[in-house]
Structure 1
């Protein structure tokens, strides 16, 4: 009898089966309405499928011939560097496919400790700790450190991972206007009653290509006894004279308390994130940061690739030096053509278009001309500020950049963006 009743319920018969079917139907209706709304508003995001390794030139499923790639975070072009690939292969052979464990159980190998030490030396900090991603590093940092006695002050345009990390902690939360140092000072003055005060900012804001004024942030933070936290995902490896990031570029390496960054962009382009700062703080994160404690450790191949990418970067800064000239070439030519390019002096070059549907159509027509770029619209950026985020890589040639500009001009005229 019990088995028969279970079968009827599973098949949708009986009160329980009916309720389950109704709940599923309700969910389906909600989802269909949401998805239809996204499509009708022009905000639908299609995933183009690459059938080749990442690089300045890629092959895209359904598109004949090679495509120039101008939308990767592959700033130094190391994603497919032969030495990086070989280091990953060797680590795979020497240390296996993965650890099947979190770090504190049996997921720590010598290569993990060596890479953490290398990252700390690179950033000139006392210690570093690896996470599955920088999103996880940001999720782990604030919750592990801050209590209801503390305060965190965040730029309103910080990356979603910083925002989510701050939501997880119990600290008092203050949000200051984007890059507005007067507003930051007002908020810090209000936050003086709290035990710890942490100013959190992106070093580079990835949707706009603008750089945080770290000199002013550090000066104000020092005046009010606050710590400075910087997410350097879009700076590590290529900003500053030796690629150490925004704090090196602006001369405040000794004033920034904590840096979170990624292995998934300039440093090989795979995955993984890290926190680097005071040794005692890193030790606390090993004990309390939930994404660290409850996640598998990074696989050996990924560690090998990132470590070799870091070696290449520290051994020769030719790639770093080439970025500024190529970035300037693209920005100046696009602005001369009549486009509005957000930010300044950063290889993230947002071509501002405003309308989401227009941005999507421009990106589609660029692909037809052999240029791979992506339109960004709400909720990734505010409504009415849709754009195409062009990203310059050290492995783009001058001819690549010029071809991209020519295609933008042609498509811009086609859609009435340019006269």
Structure 2
């Protein structure tokens, strides 16, 4: 092992460390945001939905940002992204600003996080020299995910013991900021090691809208709505209605991430074995059960049983985020040319985030005006759309090789 590490490219070693720092930092901040909003600002369900606008807006603007700043190169952009992450969350850690100003710093932090999303794989691929791209990407992703789990455990024990709290200064946010700042410093070192090797500008972005990809766009739009219901309103049932604290939410995230590490390779094998159509149909069927479960569980069971059911739904929700692999395989199978794949994926991300913003605001209003059950009734309806799309897609063999 020591000899293997000695021969490893220094920048590959640095990227493993960076992946760990980013996983730890994002795990510390993301896992507590919902409880932070509730405990510090006492937000309602309507406000919780609206908070997602500044959090998701950078994702919608991502294509514009990367297109305008593409001349800087991946490593420079990664440095900027991590500094934005650090700046936004550091202010929240050192000072509890008024609600409106808090949203500004939340937007700054989210801008850094979204800006880094397309860069992490691009930088990783540029570091791979032996042609084993999938294997290395799996190693980097697994390493990052492991530290997300470590972050969840730190949150669980920290808040459970009383060492961590949302009283100023908020130590957990300061640690998250330090992780992002350290990642930025290591990216600077990577750039010095590499010179201009990894600093090629990104090609000019182009949107791709073709009738051929209509179902993919529909799936991206449905996923945008699903994602917000899974990440915002599912946890909010536990926090608002079942009064669960930060340590409980953290351990659920740890369990979800741990299962996800095992589930991702299995999902890939299921797609290869049974095809995209059956996997997508199964996804829709499972989540109809989950969403209707959220809607009816309090009426159907005792409070104790209902709580454990919602724990299970939360974990299933987190696993549901992994089904993007089926949509990516579907797009690859129908793409006319390799050049269509990345722009179409990027266009799908933009549509996803546009719908995410609308779904958060609308979902919060529906919860406030009609009751939380109706948010999940709508989610179940979206799952029906997902199943209908699965039924009409064709199981083509890949037309374009990336």
Shorter-chain TM band: under 0.3
Provide the TM-score with structure 2 as the length reference.
Answer: 0.26
More helix by share: 2
Provide the TM-score with structure 1 as the length reference.
Answer: 0.25
More strand by share: 1
Higher relative contact order (CA 8 A, sep 6+): 2
